[in-house]
Amino acid sequence: MIEAAALTKLYGKARVVDEASLTLASPGVTAIIGPNGAGKSTLLSMIARLLPIDGGRALIDGLDVTRTRGDELAKRISILKQENGLMARLTARDLIGFGRFPHSKGRLTPTDYEKIEEALTFLDLLPFADRFLDEMSGGQRQRAFVAMVLAQDTRAILLDEPLNNLDMRHAVAMMRLMRRAADELGKIVVVVLHDINFACAYADRIIAMQGGRIVVDGPVEEVVSEETIEAVFGLPVMVRDVEGQRTCLFRA
Amino acid sequence: MVERHHAGESPTAALPREPAARAAPEPDRPVARDGHPGSPSRRNGQKLLSLGLLTLAVLFVISLFVGVGDLSVRTLLAGTWDAETMRLMLVSRIPRSAAAVLAGASLAVAGLLMQMLSSNRFVEPSTVGTTEAAALGMVVITIFAPDASILAKMLFAASFALLGTLLFLVLIRRLRSKSSLLVPLVGLILAGIIESTAYFVAYRNDLLQSLGAWSRGDFSMILQGRYELLWIGLALAAIALFAADRFTLAGLGRDISVTLGIAYERIVALGLVIVSLIAALTVVTVGEIPFVGLVVPNLVTMAMGDNGRRIVPVVAICGAGLVLACDIIGRLVRFPYEISVGAIMGVAGSLLFLILLSRGRPARG
Ligand SMILES: Nc1ncnc2c1ncn2[C@@H]1O[C@H](COP(=O)(O)OP(=O)(O)OP(=O)(O)O)[C@@H](O)[C@H]1O
Ligand SMILES: [Mg+2]
């Protein structure tokens, strides 16, 4: 359960996130969309206690993120940031193993090894399992970081632009994976997406941000309309149903 | 380059009468609590580890038999091994070799930690101000409490080292662009400022000679009873191994550490204390030895990656081997004179480092 109440972030006078409130109580995939600089990453970072909060509160399973022990929260919420890894000459397998840290504290049990193999398989990483991250392609590395988040096995999962660097096949696979995580494992997945069509196809709910505020929050059919998308992105678009799939195209 | 007669064991120098030394030290055999069983990197690591240990043992034996004093393998074989040679061995040769091993191992580990804490591969305690601050601390405590015990002086120097390193970390946290070369550059500037301060204070108080000893690594003065502080360095390296997972994650950055539930600030503080203590220990006992902390971790991470649990033991062993080898070379090149290990390491280290840079190793990543 993720609850944000009037979350606010200030940089100087700029209200980068402005009284954003949301509640995610049941399993599902929620997409956050919005133009560059809308405050999406900042909002996720505050919820995941990576950034100090300037106003409002964020609760995970009812625990205030600013007051709860870090290792307790690490079993409840995980986040994939937009950019990752400074010194990352680790093998994919080692990295994913570190995802088990909140549970094993470094002493991997057979269960941990199982979870690691599972994450490697899910993200199509078995051929690269023992390769160093700095010797992988951008997309392979991105998948390794997502696998690490998956291995952490928390109920709440925040993913900031996980489709970065992924080809179409792997992007679709990633979105299907999120769907499965929500449907089969009961995860609460929040994902920042720039491609509205991925949000249409795989999300249950879409939250649109603009200038630090949450401007729209609702089911896909409700949010993805020409008026709303044009208002949020300031760009004329066409929204059509193509073979039953809600589709959003920019007007050239 | 400094050359001097071998002070500790020139044939005429009287050896201090002290009780027999301990047996030759072996670096603690690290326990590999390792990742995936049977993974290739793990097997490689263990092979490297045993190879390193073997090389270190050979170097150690060589080191025991190199010097001005009348002590060679020939005396051993000829059976002219008497009480006098035994004493030379116990009072000078073994302590000297042990000091090189301990200093090398702990300095290399300190370098690795420094790199993890600043997420940059091109820093080490002597290039960010830690070592210089320790030397400044020694100057200050020698002015105000010249009769303090060596342990007290060392701890005082360590607190200076801690402040110096903290200052560096605060500075680089504030850097807008964490460009990979800016970070070591800031470190070099800070180190330069602290070093000149130390020289100024030492000059004003007639301590330049002592400061010289602290800032120039040299094992020729090592005798039994004058190096034992260095064992603390090995204990600190063991702590680093124990917390290796956390340090590795700290190297991946604050965000990943926090996400995985690690008290990031606390692990950075622990790393700072370890690095500062090791810097102070070596400054007090043998003087600054440059480059070990830079070259060894870089070579090891290039071959084996950044997983601390796997590499801390290897880094320690390679550091010990490198310093011991440099000390042996220093004793041999101008026999019977000596060139200090600091000078040899300066040459060997900068060469190795240039090779590293020319291979295009990125500072981060
Ligand atoms: N450290 C900082 N200091 C000042 N302003 C910042 C800082 N970090 C972010 N901002 C500003 O906050 C705003 C929101 O940034 P944020 O990263 O949350 O946007 P975003 O919605 O994730 O954008 P994108 O789609 O480009 O990832 C931006 O205008 C950005 O310039
Ligand atoms: Mg963003």
- Does residue B181 contact residue B120 with C-beta atoms inside 8 Å? no
pLDDT per residue over A126-140, tens digit each? Answer: 999 999 998 888 889
Any domain includes B24: no
- The residues, any chain, with a CB within 8 Å of residue B9's CB and separated by 6 or more, are B15, B67, B68, B69, B88, B92, B93
Nearest-angstrom CA–CA distance, A13 and B74:
80
* Residue of A154, A185, A189, A165 whose CA lies nearest to A175: A189
Q: Is residue B326 part of a domain?
A: yes
Residues A96 and A219 reside in one and the same domain: no
Q: Which residues on chain A are in Cβ contact (under 8 Å) with B183?
A: none
Ligand 1 atom closest to residue A9's alpha carbon, by position in its atom list: 12
Number of domains within chain B: 1
> CA B247 to CA B272: how far, in whole Å?
11
Contact call for residues B34 and B45 (beta carbons, < 8 A)? yes
The CATH number covering residue A197 comes to 3.40.50.300
Q: Which run of H or E residues covers position B348?
A: helix B341-358
Domain final residue pick, A92, A123, A153: A153
Domain that holds residue B251: 88-359
Contacts of B159 (CB under 8 A, 6+ apart): B137, B276
**Considering only CA atoms, which residue is closest to atom 5 of ligand 1?**
A11
Over 90: is that where the pLDDT of A174 sits? yes
The pLDDT value recorded for residue B1 is 38
Residue B63 in domain: no
Give the alpha-carbon dihedral of A104, A110, A112, A118, to 10 degrees.
180
Residue B216: the pLDDT is: 86
Nearest to A43 by CA among A69, A73, A82: A82
Nearest to B260 among A69, A88, A102 (CB): A102
Asked if A101 lies within 8 A of B245 by C-beta distance, the reply is yes
**Does residue A204 contact residue A44 with C-beta atoms inside 8 Å?**
no
Full domain range(s) for residue A69: 2-76+155-250
Give the ipTM.
0.92
User: Tokens 């600089």 correspond to what residue?
Assistant: A37
Q: Do the domain assignments include residue B78?
A: no
Q: Based on the structure, what is the number of domains in chain A? A: 2
Which residues have beta carbons under 5 A from ligand 2 (an ion)?
Answer: A 41, 82
Q: What is the mean pLDDT of residues A196-200?
A: 94
Torsion, Cα B101 B103 B105 B111, to 10 degrees, reads: -160
% pLDDT > 90, chain A? 87
Check if A141 has its Cβ closer than 6 Å to any atom of ligand 1: no
Sheet with A2-11, edge to edge strand ranges: A14-24, A2-11, A55-60, A63-64
With H, G, I as helix, E, B as strand and everything else as coil, classify residue A57: strand
Contact A74, A152 (CB under 8 A): yes
CB-CB neighbors (< 8 A) of A88 in chain B:
252, 306, 365
Residue closest to B247 by CA, chosen among B237, B320, A52, B171? B237
Yes or no, beta carbons of A87 and B121 under 8 Å apart = yes
Q: Whose CA is nearest to atom 31 of ligand 1?
A: A37
Average pLDDT over chain A, rounded to an integer:
93
- Find, among B136, B141, B113, the residue nearest to B125 by Cα: B113
Which atom of ligand 1 sits closest to the CA of residue A39? 18
What would the two tokens of residue B359 be?
A: 């291979």
Give the integer Cα–Cα distance in Å for A46 and A52. Answer: 6
Say what percent of chain A tops pLDDT 70. Answer: 98
* Cα distance between residue A209 and residue A90, in whole Å: 35
How far apart CA B221 and CA B285 sit, in angstroms, is: 9
Please indicate, yes or no, whether residues A143 and A184 belong to a single structural domain of this protein.
no
Same domain? For A52 and A165 the reply is yes
Q: How far apart are CA A223 and CA B349, in angstroms?
A: 62
Please identify, among A122, A153, A184, the residue that sits at the C-terminal boundary of a domain.
Answer: A153
**Nearest-10 Cα torsion for B189, B246, A93, A51:** -80
Query: What secondary structure does DSSP assign to B266-315, as a single string?
Result: HHHHHHHHHHHHHHHHHHHHT----SHHHHHHHHHHHHH-S-HHHHHHHH
A66 and A88 share one domain:
no
Distance CA A119, CA A129 (A): 11
Q: How far apart are CA B213 and CA B226, in angstroms?
A: 14
| A47/A164 same-domain check | yes
Do A124 and A184 have their domain in common? Answer: no
pLDDT band at A62 (very low <50, low <70, confident <90, very high): very high
A72 contacts on B by Cβ (under 8 Å):
261
Residue B41 lies in a domain: no
pLDDT reported for residue B30: 37
Structure tokens at A36: 């560059």
To test the ligand 1 pocket, which listed residue (A16, A43, A79) has its Cβ within 8 A of the most ligand atoms?
A16
Determine which residue's CA is closest to atom 1 belonging to ligand 1: A11
Proximal ligand: closest to the CA of A16: 1
Give the integer Cα–Cα distance in Å for B55 and A14: 60
Residues whose CB falls within 8 Å of the CB of residue A185, separated by 6 or more in sequence, listed in order = none
- Of the candidates B120, B249, B301, which has its C-beta nearest A98's C-beta? B249
Examine the domain organization and report whether A49 and A162 are in the same domain.
yes
> Which residues face A160 on adjacent strands?
A192
Is A117's Cβ below 8 Å from some Cβ in B?
no
Whether A152 lines ligand 1, by a CB cut-off of 6 Å, is no
Q: Range with the lowest mean pLDDT among A5-14, A222-231, B63-72?
A: B63-72
Inside any domain, residue B298: yes
Q: Are A16 and A10 in contact (CB under 8 A)?
A: yes
B27 CB-side CA count, 13 A:
37
Same domain assignment for residues A18 and A54? yes
Are A159 and A52 in a shared domain? Answer: yes
- Is B336 inside any structural domain? yes
pLDDT number for residue B353: 81
Query: Same structural domain for residues A228 and A213?
Result: yes
**Residue where a domain terminates, one of A106, A134, A153:** A153
Mean pLDDT of A2-30: 95
Running DSSP on this structure, what letter comes out for residue B21? Answer: P
What pLDDT score was predicted for residue A11?
94
And the tokens for B196?
Answer: 């000149």
Full pLDDT tens readout for chain B, 365 residues: 334 444 444 433 333 333 333 333 333 333 333 444 445 556 666 787 888 899 999 999 999 888 776 666 666 667 667 777 888 888 888 999 999 999 999 999 999 999 999 888 889 998 899 999 999 999 999 999 999 898 999 999 999 999 999 999 999 888 866 667 788 888 999 999 999 999 999 999 989 888 888 888 888 888 888 889 999 999 999 999 999 999 999 999 889 999 999 999 999 999 999 999 999 999 999 999 999 999 999 999 988 899 999 999 999 999 999 999 999 999 999 888 889 998 999 898 888 888 877 776 766 65
At A232 the pLDDT is: 94
In the reported structure, the alpha carbon of residue A11 is separated from the centroid of ligand 1 by a whole-number distance in angstroms of 10
In a domain, B279, yes or no: yes
Backbone Cα Rg of chain B: 20
The secondary structure of B36-94 as a DSSP string is STT-HHHHHHHHHHHHHHHHHHHHHHHHHT-SSSS--HHHHHHT---HHHHHHIIIIIH
> Which residue is closest in CA terms to ligand 1's atom 4?
A11
What gap in Å lies between CA B229 and CA B95, rounded to an integer? 12
Atom 3 in ligand 1: residue holding the nearest Cα:
A11
Q: CA-to-CA distance for B55 and B71, rounded, in angstroms?
A: 22
Q: Give the gap in angstroms from C-alpha A169 to the nearest C-alpha of chain B.
A: 27
Mark whether A187 and A65 lie in a shared domain.
yes
Helix axes B244-251, B264-285, angle to 10 degrees: 110
Which spans in B129-263 are helix H? 130-144, 150-174, 182-204, 208-215, 230-242, 244-251, 254-259
CATH number of the domain enclosing B296: 1.10.3470.10
Residues A226 and A241 in one domain: yes
